[in-house]
Amino acid sequence: MSAILVVRPSSLGDIVYALAIASDIRRHKPDLAIDWVAEHGFVPLLEMCPDIRRVVPVALRRWRRAPLSRATWREIAVFRRQIKADRYAAILDLQEQIKGALIARAARGRRHGFDRTTVREPIATFAHDVHHRVPRHLHFVERCRHLAASALGYTLEGLPRWHIVPPKAAPAIPERPYAVLLHATSRAEKLWPEKRWRALVAHFSGAGFATVLPWGTHDEEERSRRLADGDDRAVIPPWLSLPEAATTLARADVVVGVDTGFTHLAAALGTPTVGLFLATDPTVHGVSCAGAHARDLGSEGKIPAVETVIAATGELMRRLPYC
């Protein structure tokens, strides 16, 4: 069986959107197997997609911290053997950076990437054999889909689709109905004010919903506790692995989140999702590209009001069938 290699090792939200090409390829090129290069932390996400044949783990972040250690060089040698195990019909570099270009260069096959006028780091184009002009104003999911279609010779049609199958069980999931509130992000300028999150917790509680407040760091856990303080329906789960988080998001009645990877994952899973954008442009970063079940609110410098968020969640939940 012929195979292609996708190079998109990070980050979570971008891998989620890039994964839409797997469904496109399954429809248009069903005889092509798909392998994917990803950082170790994101491998579980790709393993939840049945359309991916093999994930080749890479540890660029760890290797950069100890570039001269024997362990690093041993791991690099293993990675090189794994990535050269097949000759690929096409290598799709969706990373847009030097690191992606170097990975693509290590693999065997014809390398495809964005051209110099549309790629994030133009120097990366020197590692590619074929360059594709895909407008930068498009949402990243559409940029990936267009590049894959151009490289593999098929015509795009319809909205993006995802085939992500989370595990059946996850810890601390309350009985339905429940909402997941994703308040955490690595960039402070993307945060929605805590006062507004508390008002949203109170709204869902008053409507009979439990609220799940996931966290990833100590500071985020403390914020979850502040937001849940005094509300018996608020749930602070234990730290969730990526598959556990996916299950929690997939089973939720609604998800509200800032511009962070798990918010994008919720939309890709088909869960009613409201994305809050305070420092980024939802036109190119938003969740509404996933379909009618997802809504973008806010924009750079425009903070969504609590009432607007409540109205959006209510509208989404009324429009979609409850199962």
CA nearest 93: which of 50, 148, 139?
148
Right CATH for 178-319 from 1.10.3720.10, 3.40.50.970, 3.40.50.2000, 3.40.640.10: 3.40.50.2000
Indicate whether 201 pLDDT > 60.
yes
User: Which pairs with CB-CB distance under 8 Å and at least 24 residues apart come from 126-132?
Assistant: 126/101, 127/93, 127/101, 127/102, 128/93, 128/101, 128/104
Give me the amino acid identity at 196. Answer: R
pLDDT recorded at residue 173? 81
DSSP 42: G
CA nearest 140: which of 53, 287, 14, 11?
14
Q: Do the first three CATH levels of 3-152 and 178-319 match, i.e. the same topology?
A: yes
How many Å apart are CA 267 and CA 249, to the nearest integer?
9
Neighbouring residues of 70: CB distance < 8 A, sequence distance ≥ 6: none
DSSP 267: H
CATH number of this structure's domain 3-152: 3.40.50.2000
pLDDT recorded at residue 321? 57
pLDDT recorded at residue 243? 96
- pLDDT per position as a tens digit, 137-154: 999 999 999 999 999 999
pLDDT recorded at residue 320? 62
How many Å apart are CA 261 and CA 238, to the nearest integer?
19
Locate 34 and state its tokens: 């798909």
Strand ranges (E), 259-322? 273-277, 294-298
Distances from the Cα of 204 to the Cα of 22, 226, 232, 302, 316, angstroms: 36, 16, 12, 24, 14
Locate 191 and state its tokens: 């945060």
- pLDDT per position as a tens digit, 3-18: 999 999 999 999 999 9
pLDDT recorded at residue 323? 45
Cα 136 versus chain centre, distance: 19
- Mean pLDDT, all residues of the chain: 95
Cα 70 versus chain centre, distance: 33
Percentage of residues in the chain having pLDDT higher than 70: 98
Question: Could you state, in order of their start, the residue ranges of all structural domains in the chain?
Answer: 3-152, 178-319
- pLDDT per position as a tens digit, 230-274: 999 999 999 999 999 999 999 999 999 999 999 999 999 999 999
- pLDDT per position as a tens digit, 285-306: 999 999 999 999 999 889 999 9
How many Å apart are CA 35 and CA 91, to the nearest integer?
9
How many Å apart are CA 191 and CA 202, to the nearest integer?
19
Indicate whether 174 pLDDT > 90.
no
pLDDT recorded at residue 18? 98
- pLDDT per position as a tens digit, 85-127: 999 999 999 999 999 999 999 999 999 999 999 999 999 999 9
For helices 140-152 and 20-28, give the axis angle rounded to 10 degrees. Answer: 30
